[in-house]
Structure formats: C-alpha cells, structure tokens
Structure 1
Amino acid sequence: MRLPSGPGRGLPALIATVLALGLAGCGGDDSPPAAGPPSSAPAATGGSLDARNEFAGIAAVALDRRYAALYSFTGGDGNPRNVVATVANDGSWRVDIANGALGGTADVSIVHNQHGVYQCSLSLTGAPVTPGCVHVAEKGEKVPSRYDPRVQRLFRQWLPVFTDRAAALSVSAVKPLDGAQGGTCYSVDSSAAGLDAPVDIGVYCYSTDGLLTAARVGFGVLKLVRQVPAPATVQFPGPEVGGEPMGTTAPEQGIASQPETAPSGAAG
C-alpha cells in the first residue's frame, strides 16, 4: 500500500476545523445561490508587460505557499459548493470537491503525493460512501480528462506556467472580483492564436503572500472563505483500491458509481 500510516485517514481534523469555522452550509438548503460569472471581463488597470512580470513573481511565491483553506465554488449550474484545498508542508496536496463527480451526485478528492496522483471517493455532503482512492496519473502528470473535476487545477497545476515568462500568456491587471477577499487580480489569456491555451484562461486573484483568494474561469467561480495553517502532510480519505475512477458525468443505469473497495496490491 502507498498510503501514509497512522490514524489520519478520513476527513482530517484540520479540514474539519476549516469547515466548522468557515462557510457553514455552503451548498446546502440554507445557502443563497452565489452570483454567476459576469458576462464581461473586468476592466484592465495596468500595462500587460508589467502585469506579466508581477504575475510571474506572485505565482513563484504561490508555489512555496503552504495552507489549508475552505473555498466556495459556483459552477455553471449556479449552485455553490464547498471546496477544501490543502497544500502540506512536505509538498503533497489534496483538493476535496463537493459534488465534483458523477454529474454532481458524488463528492471527490484529488490527492498528489510522492507516489502519483489519486482520485478518491469521500463524503463532504453527508452521503453514505465507502472511501477509496484510485491511482490515475504519475507524479506531476495531469488527471485524465474523463475523471478530471478541473477545480483542483486552479491551485497548483498552472503555477509553473504562470512563472514562465516565455509561456504564451497575455496578462493584465484587473479590478478585484466581486466578493474576493483581497489580493490582486489578473486576467490571463493565451497569446498564441490558433493554439489551445496552456492554462485555464480567466481571472486569478492572489494575496501578496501567494494565497489564491479568487478565480473566475470558464467552468465556474472560486472564492476563498477561510484558511488555517498547513498540516505536515496530506492523508488519503481511504485505502488505495483497484477499479475504475469516478467519471465526471452521471453513470449509466446499472453501472457502479464508486471505486471497488478491495485494497490494491501496490507496495509502498
């Protein structure tokens, strides 16, 4: 098994603390729907060359930032949901996304550690689930699109591209997003006509110490609610198992919607 040892499986106490102190009921019946993405981009407030250099610098700071934080994410359906992002002191990270798999009917976690990238089933919304984690990519690789909830990409995946001043990006400083908890916001677009964008284009907001405070991309809006200090490492919600990871779309009738629960034979 490749799992960290000890009693930390399941939702870690640190994450539970973030949830308890933060957005109680986000995504529940008592939460008012968050406003969807504005139809137009915020007005630019700075030169693109200066903004590109500033953005690369703050992205470099963000690469070294360690934290656990609760966010509110509103996708295309207009319903807010909880997202908990943890970047541990040892460099491992985990992003828990409520209703992030199986067409919005299952909670999902993406975990990255020294052994690779895992997709895990868990319960953030109270649904009965047997937690389990399936290896989906090697260390540093992307989650295959079929299983990719996408939200986790906003925290770590694009930072190396943001720091690369030679990357085909056009960056402008823009007004803060509504509801963002401080920070400086930048509009990020591709500067290579006819080519796929190297990142999720949109608006990214960072505090001066490198914490992502808000983002607006094509698939939704993310806003910081609360943060606490980072743990030493991240834990899996459950054991590593075999079987198929959860897809992003709703399962067909009669097809299993959770990973197999038998532990895999992988050695750690």
Structure 2
Amino acid sequence: MTTGTALAAVTGLLLTACGGGAPVDAPSDPATGVPAQPDPRGMLAARVAVAKDQRYVAAYTLVVQGKAPRSVLVTVAKDRTWRVDIQGGALGGTADVAIANRPEGVYQCAINPPTGCVRVGATNKKLPVSIDPRLQYVFIAWLDVLLDRQVPLAVSPAEPLAGTSAPCFAVEPGVTAVQPPIDAGVFCYNDKGILAAARIPLGQLMLTGEPAPAPDTITLPGPVVTVPPLGTSAPPPPKPSSSSPSAAPSISRSR
C-alpha cells in the first residue's frame, strides 16, 4: 500500500461508524443542518499514523533566532533503529552530536570533534536533561503522543509555515500536565507522512529536499567508548593559569 493510499485509509477509518464498515457523512449541527467541521486532532492523527510507518533518511535545516542555520539529518531504518545527527547539538552549539537508538541502548556520539559513542540510556528512553538536545523526540517519541487520545492536547489548524504547503497544526499540551509529554508548537506533515516543517521552542525545522530510502539498520558513527557524554550547555571559560606572569615591575629612573 502506498503512503498516499495509507493516509486515505486511516482518514477513512476515522470517519467510519463504530459498528459499520462504510464511511458515514460528517455529523451536522442539529440547529442548522450544516456539516460539522473536521476534527483537527483527528486530521493530524491520520497523518501521524502514516508517519509512524515511514522509514527514510531526511535532511532538515534548523533555524534558531540570532544564530546561523544548523543541519539535522534523520535516519529511521527498516528495523526501527534510528539516528538523529544534530549540528551544534552539544556544548552550547560548538559540538556536533548524533543521538542513536539501537536494541542495546541509546547512544550519544560526538561527531565533531569525533570522540566515539557513549551509551546514555535504555532503548527509547529519555535522556538526562543535561545532555538532551531534544530534537530527536520530534521524529520519534512525539508521534506516539500525538496519536494517544488519552493525552490532553489542544490541536487546531495553523497557517502553513514558510517554505511548505503541507497542512500544519498547532499543538498545545493540556494545562493539567505537570511535565508536558510534548513541547507546544506547530507541526506540518505532508501526504507521505514526512514531517515537512515544525516550529518548536528549539527553533524552526524545515525539510530540505526529498527523503532518501532507509538503510536496513543504523550504524554508530564511531566506536563505543567509556567517557563522560557531552552536555548541551556551553563549557565554562578556562580559569586563569596560576603561573601567568604578574604585572611587570616599575622601572625607577636612576639619578
């Protein structure tokens, strides 16, 4: 089944009566007889359901206000392993990292400078805040959140983000959530179930070009090592050396 057909099928299921097999007309307002507007959350869920089934390699640009654009490369492999390479994803934007998820765990891999991969958690688990770039959730964990009707979310249609014609939806976590399972933002998915654009607190993501076919599995960009993972914050400035020369003594004029 093609992705376009899958999207149509999922959308049809959302409009099917619980006990019947044929689509039914959208409910009408009893007072006016005018068909009710489609449910934005259901429309978004239909596209996210297709996104869950996609396997691909896709390049994005991340635009953060006041900073140079950064590149993001997302790989979702055929075996459901995944990897997200983030330019400037660590040390306050000065180091490039990849977050990779394999059956044996989640790894943070330093790409530039290359220092290897560190296992930082169990498979598909959140990372400690101090080392978490968070961008990987947009493509992986948040899909389940958007599909779960038990999660309190306010969803409404949004104006298309610049550079995309894909339908966009504004998502706001419920105010009762102590720790929101998703960041507030605007998410735009095309008919193939690929994230075309998103605006989140971290910045604005934009798909660049057509996604490429997925590999069978993801590979780590370096050997597994036992070193501390890189933090997301900028490192503190180096302390002055105690051996730094003192002020030059004054030279007295001889008589």
TM-score (norm 2): 0.75
Query: Does the 8 Å contact 1:133/1:238 carry over to 2?
Result: yes
1:43 equivalent in structure 2: none
Deviation by residue 1:170-201 (Cα, 9 ceiling, x = unmatched): 10111210112x32111000123463322011
Q: By how many angstroms is 1:249 displaced?
A: 0.9
Aligned residue type for 1:204: F
1:219 aligns with 2:199: no
- Runs of 4 or more above 4 Å deviation: none
* Equivalence for 1:114: 103
Identity %: 44
Residue type of the partner of 2:208? V
1:149-182, CA deviations, whole angstroms, 9 ceiling, x for partnerless residues?
12212111211111111211010111210112x3
Q: Secondary structure at the match of 1:158?
A: helix
1:130 deviation in Å? 2.9
Q: Deviations over 1:77-126 (max 9, x none)?
A: 33201110110111010000111110111001000111111100013xxx
Q: Separation in 1 of the partners of 2:37 and 2:233?
A: 38
Provide the aligned C-alpha RMSD in A: 1.8
Partner residue in 1 for 2:117: 133
Does the C-alpha gap of structure 1 residues 76 and 151 become closer, same or farther in structure 2, counting only changes over 3 Å? Answer: farther
Using CA pairs under 8 Å that are at least 6 residues apart, name the structure with larger relative contact order, 1 or 2.
Answer: 1
Question: Do the aligned residues in 2 keep the contact of 1:107 with 1:121 (CA within 8 Å)?
Answer: yes
Q: Which residue, out of 51, 75, 92, partners 1:103?
A: 92
Distance in 2 (alpha carbons) for counterparts of 1:202 and 1:136: 27
- Hey, what's the Cα distance between the residues in 1 that align with 2:186 and 2:144? 17
Structure 1: give runs of 5+ residues left out of the alignment: 1-46, 124-128, 256-268
Alpha-carbon distance change, 247 to 230 in structure 1, aligned in 2, over 3 angstroms: same
| TM-score normalised by length of structure 1 | 0.72
Q: Matches of 1:236 and 1:131 in 2, distance apart?
A: 12
- SS, match of residue 49 in structure 2: helix
1:168 is aligned with what amino acid? P
Q: Measure, in 2, the Cα distance between the counterparts of 1:135 and 1:48.
A: 47
1:244 maps to 2:233 = no
Specify the code of the residue in structure 1 equivalent to 2:79: D
- Alpha-carbon distance between aligned partners in 1 of 2:80 and 2:97, rounded to the nearest angstrom: 20
Q: Which runs of 5+ in 2 are unaligned?
A: 1-35, 240-255
Q: Of the candidates 208, 215, 232, which is equivalent to residue 231 of structure 1?
A: 215
The 3-state SS of whatever aligns with 1:54 is helix
8 Å contact kept, 1:168–1:198: no
CA distance in 2, matches of 1:120, 1:77: 26
The answer to whether the aligner puts 1:59 opposite 2:42 as a matched pair is no
